[in-house]
Amino acid sequence: MNAPVQQQTDAPEQPIVETPAYAGGAMPDVPKSYTQLERSNLSISENAGADYPLGIKASKVSAKPSERFQVNSDGWIKDLKTGQTWMACAIGQVWAKGYCQGTALQFDLDSAQQVVQLSNQQQVFGFSNWRLPSIEELNTLVQCQSVVTELSCEKVSNVPTIAQESFTNTPASQFWSSTEAKDDQAFYYALTFRYGLVQKWHKNSQFALRLTRP
């Protein structure tokens, strides 16, 4: 199965000149070959290689973000509904004055695992058990402000489809999960916060990261 084709832009990708900061501190060292990619403005086609054996659906808003998400001043968020801890910012962004600033970096899945390892080695926020979320865990962050369709939020829903008051400046693009597609080991599931839509993509695709911990 071929991965969905991503739209190409005319502007060339620029190498990272300075090591970007992320979520409350210096980002773990990554190979200089990584490029800083702009926020994705891609829309998802109706049949862009998607299949949904997990039967995952977008969730309706069940609680006000301020009631559900406890934002720590250091740049991590406690989900009082699930008990999980999340990084407030996507990897590559800077947590400053209660807001995520800058552009999220994108990684293939192997590089994403390196970021996880480095985050734990450096004990980001004092924790050493960061990991990629499963697709089910990532999907718990989806919040539709309009009618929920079978597998995603309606396209007229607020974008990004996440509690924006808590997860500020979240790019409306794909985020990697750790969930492997059962029918093809080269494909893993990702979720776009443009529509709250789950798709499987080849592991060499480059997407954003938001780490979690138990």
The verdict on residue 180 lying in a domain is yes
Instruction: Tell me, yes or no, whether 158 lies in a domain.
Output: yes
| pLDDT digit string, tens, across residues 134-166 | 999 988 887 765 554 445 565 555 656 676 777
Residue numbers of the domain that contains 174: 18-37+55-210
Query: For residue 188, which of 38, 41, 54 has the smallest C-alpha distance?
Result: 54
| Residue 9 domain-assigned (yes or no) | no
Please give the Cα distance from 173 to 39 (Å, whole number): 7
Chain segment 158-209, per-residue pLDDT in tens: 656 676 777 888 887 899 999 999 888 899 999 887 777 788 999 999 999 9
Q: Could you read off the pLDDT of 17-61 as tens digits, one per residue?
A: 233 334 434 444 443 322 222 222 222 222 233 343 344 444 444
pLDDT in tens, 78-106: 999 899 999 989 999 998 888 899 999 99
- The answer to the question of residue 3 being in a domain is no
Flag whether 152 is in a domain: yes
Looking at the domain assignment, is residue 7 inside a domain? no
d(CA 138, CA 68): 15
50 lies in some domain = no
Rounded-to-integer distance, Cα 126 and Cα 180, Å: 29
Query: What is the number of structural domains in the chain?
Result: 1
Distances (CA, A) of 46 to 16, 51, 195, 197, 199: 34, 11, 12, 11, 11
Q: Is the residue at 5 inside a domain?
A: no
